[in-house]
């Protein structure tokens, strides 16, 4: 089906997030790793349970449920969906398999191009950029799916992987295109510092793939900060804006200290961000959807507020995405 490019802006019409029923506790992490409980609680920012897929749960199913809710609320016909993108780490529920195609079939989307994007925790915002560009060029709507198995990739028996003990699982969906958009997609800038490519890597074992830390190199926190600040300034320059114009900043990040340092560097008050660490842990790309949802629930967003989304992923890739809140669509 051929669609005409939209006459107006494109962005996120609606979004949703779902969590698995499974949980991992800091007590279980302690028993498996031998690490002291206070050390683990420091990593999890005090939360004692984190959502993690249970043995009989799959990432694609909870992501499908989020997508179904988004489509039902939006009223956009399935025939208008031109692309279905499933974004994450690239470790899907089954090997050599397309979760994008599976979910499209389950939801009755039969004319779309379905494909996956692997960029780890940066995949969601990278896919949003692609979705916005495709919709702006060709028309139609893009169903963006954020489904990962991050928590199931953590081997709690390996104490060296403790920086990832706050990682969990969630499924999220965003409907991108023209119409009654809630978050207008303005622009984004991303870059990869490939010198850190081997810092974390997967390893196949009898229980499936697991993360392994491959080195003791120091300084990654400063790399995060330097790249985020540079990319934020690049995005602001593209928009003809300045740091004082940032209304809100959210981030998908496993380290609370990096978020606080970034907010300080860009002069954004902490109350204009969302901290999920002490409640949920790090939910991969779904962090950004959780944060945007919570911002809206506060009812402090105003029409045309500029929201910067800082995203990152192993590799290491860094990104800043600029969104503009549209009050009429969200009310």
Asked if 97 and 60 touch (Cβ cutoff 8 Å), the reply is: no
pLDDT of residue 233: 98
Q: How far apart are CA 159 and CA 149, in angstroms?
A: 20
pLDDT in tens, 216-228: 889 999 999 999 9
The 10s digit of each residue's pLDDT in 61-95 is 999 999 999 999 999 999 999 999 999 999 999 99
Instruction: Label each residue of the chain as H, E or C.
Output: CCCCCCCCCCEEEEEEEECCCCEEEHHHHHHHHCCCHHHHHHHCCCCCEEECCCCCCCHHHHHHHHHHHHHHHHCCCHHHEEEEEEEECCCCCCCCCCHHHHHHHHCCCCCCEEEEEECHHHHHHHHHHHHHHHHHHHCCEEEEEEECCCHHHCCCCCHHHHHHCCECCCEEEEEEECCCCCEEEEEEEEEECHHHCCCEEEEEECCEEEEEECCCCCCHHHHHHHHHHHHHHHHHHHHCCCHHHEEEEEECCCCHHHHHHHHHHCCCCHHHCCCCCCCCCECCCHHHHHHHHHHHHHCCCCCCCEEEEEEEECCCEEEEEEEEECHHHHC
- pLDDT of 329: 62
Q: Which pLDDT does position 98 carry in this prediction?
A: 98
Please work out, in degrees rounded to the nearest 5, the angle formed at the alpha carbon of residue 279 by the alpha carbons of 153 and 93.
25
Residue range 113-157, pLDDT digits in tens = 999 999 999 999 999 999 999 999 989 999 999 999 999 999 999
The pLDDT value recorded for residue 230 is 98
pLDDT computed for residue 157 by the predictor = 95
Calculate the CA dihedral of residues 206, 211, 214, 217 and round it to 10 degrees: -160
> Quick one: pLDDT at residue 144?
98
Residue 216: the pLDDT is 81
For the entire predicted model, the pTM comes to: 0.95
Which parts of the chain sit beneath pLDDT 70? 1-3, 7, 329-331
* Amino acid 116: pLDDT: 98
């Amino acid at each position: 089906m051929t669609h005409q490019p939209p006459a107006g802006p494109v962005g996120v019409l609606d979004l949703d997030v779902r969590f698995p029923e499974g949980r991992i506790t800091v007590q279980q992490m302690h028993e498996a790793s031998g690490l002291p409980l206070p050390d683990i609680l420091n990593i999890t920012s005090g939360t004692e349970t984190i959502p993690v897929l249970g043995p009989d749960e799959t990432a694609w199913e909870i992501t499908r449920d989020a997508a179904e809710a988004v489509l039902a609320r939006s009223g956009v016909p399935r025939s208008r969906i031109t692309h279905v993108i499933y974004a994450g780490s690239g470790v899907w529920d089954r090997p050599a398999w397309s979760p994008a195609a599976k979910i499209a079939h389950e939801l009755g989307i039969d004319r779309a191009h379905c494909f996956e994007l692997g960029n780890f925790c940066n995949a969601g915002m990278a896919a949003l950029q692609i979705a916005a560009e495709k919709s702006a060029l060709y028309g139609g709507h893009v169903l963006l799916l954020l489904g990962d198995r991050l928590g199931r990739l953590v081997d709690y028996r390996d104490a060296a992987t403790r920086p990832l003990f706050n990682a969990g699982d969630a499924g999220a969906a965003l409907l991108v295109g023209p119409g009654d958009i809630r978050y207008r997609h303005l622009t984004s800038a991303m870059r990869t510092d490939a010198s850190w490519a081997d810092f974390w890597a997967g390893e196949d074992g009898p229980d499936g793939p697991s993360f392994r830390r491959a080195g003791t190199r120091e300084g990654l926190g400063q790399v995060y900060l330097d790249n985020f600040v540079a990319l934020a300034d690049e995005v602001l320059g593209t928009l003809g804006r300045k740091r004082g114009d940032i209304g809100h900043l959210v981030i998908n990040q496993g380290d609370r200290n990096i978020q606080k340092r970034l907010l300080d560097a860009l002069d954004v008050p902490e109350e204009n961000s969302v901290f999920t660490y002490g409640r949920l842990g790090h939910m991969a790309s779904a962090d950004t959807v959780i944060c945007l949802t919570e911002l809206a629930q506060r009812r402090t967003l105003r029409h045309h507020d500029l929201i910067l989304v800082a995203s990152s992923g192993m590799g290491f890739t860094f990104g800043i995405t600029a969104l503009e809140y549209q009050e009429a669509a969200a009310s």
